[in-house]
Amino acid sequence: MAVPKKRTSKAKRNMRRSHDAISTPNIIIEADGTVRRPHRVNLETGVYKGKQVIEIQDDTE
């Protein structure tokens, strides 16, 4: 069974864990106020890079 020869210090342990933090996702706020992730179609308006790529249906009855 593998057993460490020396105890790992708190500093070394924390250095190893330095990349484990969860980062906040980037968001893009459009000119019309809608929010989207980078490099993705805006699902509220159907616009990508200034072009209409998805037809959005209005379900207000």
Residue 51's Cβ-count burial label (10 Å; 0-12, 13-18, 19+) is exposed
pLDDT at 16: 96
**Residue-by-residue pLDDT tens, the chain, 61 positions:** 899 999 999 999 999 999 999 999 999 998 889 999 999 999 888 989 889 999 988 776 6
Q: What is the pLDDT of residue 57?
A: 84
Query: β-strands 35-36, 51-52: how paired?
Result: unpaired
Q: Where are the domains of the chain?
A: 25-54
Please give the pLDDT value at position 24. Answer: 93
Q: Which tokens belong to 40?
A: 């993705």
Write down the pLDDT at residue 61: 62
d(C-alpha 47, C-alpha 38), whole Å? 13
User: Cα(first)–Cα(last) distance of the chain, in Å?
Assistant: 68
